[in-house]
């Protein structure tokens, strides 16, 4: 492998049902920053069936170039044809960096692709930057410049590690959704579009999709909410979530919850914040009756303002809260909702 042959920042533009996933635009945004630091371009790799029309949207969010791999075999996500698509694109176009979303699709696809092309893959990154490796010069060891430094939490969020991939290309990472910022949309902006099809011949690794069952869900995506009113086991019962829903309604927010609440069957999994749920960073995060286990904190600590209400003054949530109130949520919440209603009505 001649590392010098590998140029440019590529991102996997995940789409589902021919709608771009939020992570696709987040990766284009981050990829653009990295490309700027390297003096190169960001290329979005769009894989699916009949997806070409999405190239314009990727361009408007900052993609300089879009490679479209369009084939009927790619209509619904399956590991093998998608892995073949990405591995072929990498072998053909030789990017120095390749980013994939750490979604259910990306965390299945990324390892398969990295293993096929023999490079490193860093999982679930929360920070990416261009820098030197080793970070500080070490006598007798060459310090490499313009390396991708990939930072990620490990050990259940207790430690944080920065990883490099100095000797293999592309440098690959899966990136946690909701962490990177998409760039502002520039209407009418165009990208260079390249069609590429490596050919898809089913083999033993192709699985057959017998059925696709979509969960019918009318709940708002908690990752898009500006205000989240999140409840934990301390809320006491599913019925008592009414108090949180009322507060959320007054503020135009959304209700979310901790893992304990999902495990107890009080709320569905798509409302769960935390390491095994979703990562959120709203403007305001209310943590109501949430003790604040490290796995939960990992999913919400980037919120702009964290307000915690808990009757247990030793609850670890107070260690990350900007404003912590030791008190009874059953008394505070109804009064808070009424007061806010009056405040907003008087504006």
Partner 1 sequence: MKIVVCIKQVPDTKGGVKFNPDGTLDRGAMLTIMNPDDKAGLEAALRLKDQYGAEVTVVTMGLPKAEEVLREAMAMGADKGILVTDRVLGGADTWATSQTLAGAIRNLEYDLIITGRQAIDGDTAQVGPQISEHLGIPVISYAQKIEIEGNSVIVERQYDDRYHVLKAQMPCLITALAELNEPRYMTPGGIFDAYDAEITVWGRADLKDVEDSNLGLKGSPTQIAKASDKVRKGAGEKVTLDPTEAVNYIVDKLKVKHVI
Residues 8-37 touching partner 1, rule: CB under 8 A, are 16
Q: Which of 130, 168, 196, 236 binds partner 1 (CB under 8 A)?
A: 168
Token match 């390396």: residue?
147
* Site pattern 139..158 for partner 1 (x: CB under 8 A): ----------x---xxxxxx
137 lies in the binding site for partner 1 (CB under 8 A): no
Handedness of CA 24, 9, 31, 172 (dihedral sign): positive
Q: Is residue 12 within 8 Å of 106, Cβ to Cβ?
A: yes
Which residues in the 237-256 window bind partner 1 by CB under 8 A? Answer: 251
Scanning residues 276 to 295, which ones bind partner 1 (CB under 8 A)? Answer: 283-284, 294
| Rounded least distance, CB 9 to partner 1, Å | 18
Report which of 74, 66, 54, 59 is spatially closest to residue 10, judged by C-alpha positions.
66
Residue-wise DSSP of 39-93: T--EEEEEEESS-GGGHHHHHHTT-SEEEEEE-GGGSS--HHHHHHHHHHHHHHH
Count other C-beta atoms under 10 Å from residue 154's C-beta.
12
Pick out residues in 292-311 that bind partner 1 (CB under 8 A): 294, 297, 301, 304-307, 309
Contact yes or no for 306/249 (Cβ under 8 A): no
Binding mask 39-78 toward partner 1 (x if CB under 8 A, else -) reads: -------------------------------------xx-
211 makes contact with partner 1 (CB under 8 A): yes
Which of 47-55, 64-72, 112-120, 234-242 is the region at the interface with partner 1 (rule: CB under 8 A)?
A: 112-120
User: Which listed residue (140, 141, 208, 265) binds partner 1 by CB under 8 A?
Assistant: 208
Q: Which residues pair with 331 in a beta bridge?
A: none
Least CB distance from residue 207 to partner 1, whole Å? 4
Q: Pick one of 91, 217, 268, 312: the residue that binds partner 1 (CB under 8 A).
A: 217
Residue 48's closest CA among 18, 11, 91, 88?
A: 18
């Amino acid at each position: 492998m001649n590392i010098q042959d590998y140029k440019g920042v590529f991102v996997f533009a995940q789409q589902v049902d021919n709608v771009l996933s939020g992570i696709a635009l987040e990766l284009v945004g981050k990829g653009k920053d990295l490309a700027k630091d390297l003096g190169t371009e960001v290329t979005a790799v769009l894989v699916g069936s009949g997806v070409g029309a999405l190239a314009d949207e990727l361009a408007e969010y900052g993609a300089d170039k879009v490679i479209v791999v369009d084939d009927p075999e790619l209509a619904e996500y399956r590991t093998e044809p998608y892995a073949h698509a990405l591995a072929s694109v990498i072998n053909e176009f030789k990017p120095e960096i390749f980013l994939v979303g750490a979604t259910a699709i990306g965390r299945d696809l990324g390892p398969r692709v990295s293993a096929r092309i023999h490079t490193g893959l860093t999982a679930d990154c929360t920070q990416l930057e261009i820098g030197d490796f080793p970070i500080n010069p070490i006598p007798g060891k060459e310090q490499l410049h313009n390396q991708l430094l990939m930072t990620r939490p490990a050990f259940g969020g207790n430690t944080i590690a920065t990883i490099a991939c100095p000797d293999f290309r592309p440098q690959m990472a899966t990136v946690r959704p909701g962490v990177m910022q998409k760039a502002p949309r520039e209407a009418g902006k165009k990208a260079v579009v390249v069609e590429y099809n490596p050919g898809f011949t089913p083999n033993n690794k192709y699985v057959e999709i017998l059925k696709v069952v979509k969960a019918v869900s009318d709940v708002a995506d908690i990752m898009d909410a500006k205000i989240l009113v999140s409840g934990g086991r301390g809320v006491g019962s599913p019925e008592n979530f009414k108090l949180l829903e009322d507060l959320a309604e007054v503020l135009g927010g959304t209700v979310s919850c901790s893992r304990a609440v999902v495990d107890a069957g009080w709320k569905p999994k798509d409302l769960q914040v935390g390491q095994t749920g979703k990562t959120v960073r709203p403007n305001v995060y209310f943590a109501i009756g949430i003790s604040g286990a490290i796995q939960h904190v990992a999913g919400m600590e980037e919120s702009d303002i964290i307000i915690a209400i808990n009757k247990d003054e030793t609850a670890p949530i107070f260690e990350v809260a900007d404003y912590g109130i030791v008190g009874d949520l059953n008394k505070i919440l109804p009064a808070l909702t009424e007061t806010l209603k009056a405040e907003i009505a008087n504006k």
